């Protein structure tokens, strides 16, 4: 009997020791709150615990007797939404407390942070905008804000166009486009202003756009063209359909992405252009947004859209910058071959492609009509010509508009002058 009692005591000690060692192993939950200064209707806090969470609560302004709580049910990570919609704007302290799932000795943690609560959307005034534009073309808008704002965009469908702002942050100018693939019914350009608390204001830009029909074009692809370009662009031999499609689809998409990133990365500077853009001399061979069908041995093998203007003149003719600007990029890029991108400011840039020679380097300031390279047939070019394109942000637009002094003055420069005049 004494032996049994001793054995029982032994088991109690072992079990008790094990119980304490297990429970002592539990750590307090980790709580995180967003490290921002401004918040609006809600904020999200997170709690995590490697052995599971129990009750999570939040309370405001030190009122720990007025907590909003929920049970995380033993999950390892939990997001708690702090509802601030009924709280008056101003400075507030948000605290989150969390306990882990240990029922006997729950470990607890607390975290508090102060926030400026602001639920009032920013204000903005549409001061001036281009009245008429065309599909594929460009327009401008000038907006003022009573408070300094830094996050403004023109939204056209899924496309976004950045603003440039005055030094005090209250006046904003942007060039935007009606991208060629945005249907007329979907063209509703908006200015979106977002403040630091995340409140947004949207203003409708009333610019009227006119639809247009883009050209269609059939291109017969010779096997000899594929053969020579496969060596240049893919560094491999081949003259068949697959080789052509690899260049015309895969390399084309990668080249466009590369240019998109270069136009987006171009330094945000004020407009540097003076008067109409210069059109390099030569015969027009293809237009903006031509819808091209490619034929190989009379079989339709591909369709692509051409986002520039093709100009053919003498072989290796000097190529001149269309206007004052800064060279943003100069290198070989897939379908474009040797190309130069010039940043003219206000997120407008021009591209010169298929060159045989590049005479400038990134960062170089160029002036209108300055020679920057020579034409050629590098990249996806069948013969010597200049592929000239105009971009607003990373969206290609109709280049010929910018050659027209009256268009440039009334559609873009007059809006910019109003923005400038108030500085």
Q: Which range in 6-14, 15-23, 164-172, 384-392 contacts Zn ion by CB under 5 A? A: 384-392
Report the nearest approach of Zn ion to the CB of residue 138 (Å): 19
Of 72, 68, 140, nearest in space to 101 by CA: 72
Q: Are 375 and 384 contacting, i.e. CB atoms less than 8 angstroms apart?
A: yes
Tokens read off for 97: 């407390």
Least Å distance, CB 223 to Zn ion, is 21
Which whole-number Å values give the CA distances from 421 to 124, 129, 335, in the listed order?
18, 15, 42
Considering beta carbons, is residue 196 or 219 the nearer one to Zn ion? 219
| Contact stretch for Zn ion (CB under 5 A) within 59-67, 290-298, 309-317, 397-405 | 309-317
Nearer residue to Zn ion within complex by CB, 209 or 255: 255
Cβ nearer to Zn ion, comparing 268 with 281: 281
CB of 294 to Zn ion, least distance (A): 14
User: Among 152, 387, 399, 408, which residue interacts with Zn ion (rule: CB under 5 A)?
Assistant: 387
Options 1-9, 37-45, 225-233, 306-314: segment touching Zn ion (CB under 5 A): 306-314
Three-state DSSP at 245 gives helix
Task: Decide: 124 and 195 in contact? Cβ < 8 Å.
Answer: no
Q: How far is the CB of 176 from Zn ion (least distance, A)?
A: 24
**142/244 with CB nearer Zn ion:** 244
Select the span of 18-26, 272-280, 303-311, 323-331 touching Zn ion (CB under 5 A).
303-311
* Minimum distance, C-beta of residue 414 to Zn ion, in the bound complex (Å): 31
Q: Which is nearer to Zn ion, 113 or 387 (CB)?
A: 387
Alpha carbons 157 and 191: distance in angstroms, whole number: 12
Indicate whether 252 belongs to the interface with Zn ion (CB under 5 A): no
Q: In this chain, which stretch among 99-107, 115-123, 243-251, 383-391 interacts with Zn ion, using CB under 5 A?
A: 383-391
Q: Which of 310, 324, 394, 401 binds Zn ion (CB under 5 A)?
A: 310
What one-character DSSP code corresponds to residue 385?
B
Task: Select 140 or 335, whichever has its Cβ closest to Zn ion.
Answer: 335
For Zn ion, the nearest residue by Cβ is: 387
- Those residues whose C-beta lies under 8 Å from the C-beta of residue 336, and which sit 6 or more positions away, are 255, 259, 351, 353, 354, 379, 380, 387
Residues 6+ apart with CB under 8 A from 299: 241
Indicate the DSSP class of residue 199.
-
Whichever of 54 and 337 has its CB closer to Zn ion, that residue is: 337
**CB atoms < 10 A from the CB of 232, how many?**
14
Residue 20, H or E segment: helix 2-24
In the numeric block, which tokens belong to residue 219? 């291109």
Dihedral (CA of 230, 232, 235, 236) sign: positive
- Give the pair of three-digit tokens for residue 239: 């003259």
Least separation, in Å, of the C-beta of 295 and Zn ion?
A: 18
- The residues, ordered by sequence, that sit 6+ positions from 145 with a Cβ below 8 Å of its Cβ are 122, 123, 124, 125, 152, 169, 170, 171, 172, 193
Q: How far is the CB of 423 from Zn ion (least distance, A)?
A: 39
Residue placing its CB nearer to Zn ion in the complex, 97 or 350: 350
Q: Which residues bind Zn ion (CB under 5 A)?
A: 308, 310, 387
């Amino acid at each position: 009997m004494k032996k049994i009692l001793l054995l029982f005591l032994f088991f109690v000690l072992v079990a008790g020791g094990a119980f304490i060692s297990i429970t002592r192993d539990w750590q307090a939950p980790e709580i995180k709150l967003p490290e921002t200064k401004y918040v609006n209707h809600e904020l999200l806090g997170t709690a995590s615990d490697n052995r599971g969470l129990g009750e999570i609560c939040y309370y405001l302004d030190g009122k720990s007797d007025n907590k909003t709580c929920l049970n995380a049910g033993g999950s390892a990570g939990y997001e708690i939404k702090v509802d601030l919609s009924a709280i008056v704007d101003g400075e507030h302290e948000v605290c989150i407390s969390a306990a882990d799932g240990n029922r006997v000795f729950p470990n607890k943690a607390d975290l508090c942070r102060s926030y400026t609560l602001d639920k009032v959307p920013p204000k903005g005034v549409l001061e001036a905008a281009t009245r008429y534009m065309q599909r594929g073309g460009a327009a401008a808008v000038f907006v003022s804000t009573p408070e300094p704002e830094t996050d403004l965009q023109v939204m056209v469908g899924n496309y976004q166009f950045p603003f440039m702002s005055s030094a005090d942050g209250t006046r904003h100018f942007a060039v935007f486009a009606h991208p060629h693939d945005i249907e007329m019914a979907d063209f509703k350009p908006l200015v979106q202003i977002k403040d630091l608390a995340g409140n947004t204001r949207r203003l409708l830009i009333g610019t009227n756009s006119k639809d247009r029909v883009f050209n269609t074009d059939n291109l017969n692809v010779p096997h000899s063209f594929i053969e020579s370009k496969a060596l240049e662009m893919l560094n491999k031999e081949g003259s068949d359909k697959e080789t052509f499609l690899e260049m015309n689809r895969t390399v084309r998409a990668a080249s466009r992405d590369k240019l998109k990133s270069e136009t987006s990365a171009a330094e945000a500077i004020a407009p540097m252009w003076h008067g109409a853009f210069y059109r390099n001399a030569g015969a027009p061979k293809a237009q903006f947004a031509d819808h091209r069908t490619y034929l190989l041995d009379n079989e339709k093998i591909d369709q692509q859209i051409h986002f520039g203007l093709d100009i053919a003149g003498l072989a290796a003719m000097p190529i001149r910058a269309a206007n004052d600007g800064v060279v943003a990029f100069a290198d070989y890029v897939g379908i474009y071959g040797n190309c130069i991108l010039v940043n003219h400011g206000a997120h407008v840039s021009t591209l010169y492609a298929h060159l045989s020679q590049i005479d400038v380097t990134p960062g170089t300031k160029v002036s209108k009509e300055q020679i920057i390279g020579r034409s050629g047939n590098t990249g996806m070019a069948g013969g010597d010509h200049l592929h000239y394109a105009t971009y607003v942000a990373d969206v290609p637009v109709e280049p010929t508009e910018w050659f027209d002094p009256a268009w440039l003055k009334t559609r873009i420069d007059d809006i910019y002058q109003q923005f400038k005049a108030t500085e």
